[in-house]
Amino acid sequence: GAVVSQHPSWVICKSGTSVKIECRSLDFQATTMFWYRQFPKQSLMLMATSNEGSKATYEQGVEKDKFLINHASLTLSTLTVTSAHPEDSSFYICSARTSGSPSYNEQFFGPGTRLTVL
Amino acid sequence: AQRVTQPEKLLSVFKGAPVELKCNYSYSGSPELFWYVQYSRQRLQLLLRHISRESIKGFTADLNKGETSFHLKKPFAQEEDSAMYYCALRALDSNYQLIWGAGTKLIIKP
């Protein structure tokens, strides 16, 4: 099946630094990648949707200058949390959509990245 | 407004008992509905989708447009079914975004 990896799986950083999280589709081309944030014991909150080669579309309330998303290729998207603060501490999950059959429209999820900002 | 409602945050049943996880949606068009499952310390994965009309791991879900529901059912629960279950909706004009329910934690007691 389609596999999505995320790196790193966890990161601890100091307040004010920037952190980059990578999301890769390992064995398929991801037409669209999604970035989510998940708070403890809560559902996923969609942050942004990105299509390869174009600017990401951010959900209402998500600061695009703080959460920079780059989708440079069909297998890689990155989320950079700039000038991180403790309130940015969360579990960040990416998913990738392939347009190929038989998985049309299905989203495949990465394992998530636990960010802790001190 | 598009919305997915999972009324139960927690559902606890005994092994061998039937399970029904409720999901109701609000959408004016014809949605595509999914159930995703997240086992402990594992990533989210698709369990089933309404257009497939299949049974996965003994689970089935039928889309009821009249009641705008997509409840997940299994006749005999197994301990390995313990997990978080999320119902999700994809609107046709949504750039493939999913609208998520809050999730239901299913605990199967031995």
Q: What is the pLDDT of residue A87?
A: 94
Q: What is the pLDDT of residues A49-105, one digit of tens each?
A: 998 878 899 999 999 999 999 988 889 999 999 999 999 999 999 999 877 655 566
Window 54-93 of A: residues touching B by CB (8 A cutoff) are 57, 93
Set of chain A residues whose Cβ sits within 8 Å of the Cβ of B42: 111
Cβ contact A82:A70 at 8 Å: no
Residues of chain B whose C-beta is under 8 A from some C-beta in A? 32, 42-46, 49, 86, 90, 95-98, 100-103
- DSSP assignment of A70-117 equals EEEETTEEEEEE-S--GGG-EEEEEEEE--STTSTT-EEE---EEEEE
Q: List chain A residues with CB under 8 Å of B32.
A: 105
Angstrom distances, CA of residue B32 to CA of A29, A39, A48, B21, B27: 22, 26, 20, 18, 10
Cβ of B95 within 8 Å of Cβ of A32? The answer is yes
Beta strand A90-97 with A107-109 is: antiparallel
Task: Tell me what pLDDT residue B54 has.
Answer: 81
Amino acid at A81: V
Looking at per-residue confidence, does A1 or B53 come out higher?
Answer: B53
Instruction: Report the pLDDT value the prediction gives residue A105, as an integer from 0 to 100.
Output: 67
Question: Are the beta carbons of B32 and A107 separated by less than 8 Å?
Answer: no
B4 to chain A, closest Cα gap in Å? 11
List, for residues B58-72, the tens digit of each pLDDT value.
999 989 989 999 999
CA nearest neighbour of B27 among B98, B107, B102, B103: B98
Residue ranges of chain B with per-residue pLDDT less than 70: 93-94
- Answer yes or no: do A43 and B44 touch at CB < 8 A: no
Cβ–Cβ gap A43/B103 under 8 Å = yes
What is the Cα–Cα distance from A71 to A66, expressed in whole angstroms? Answer: 16
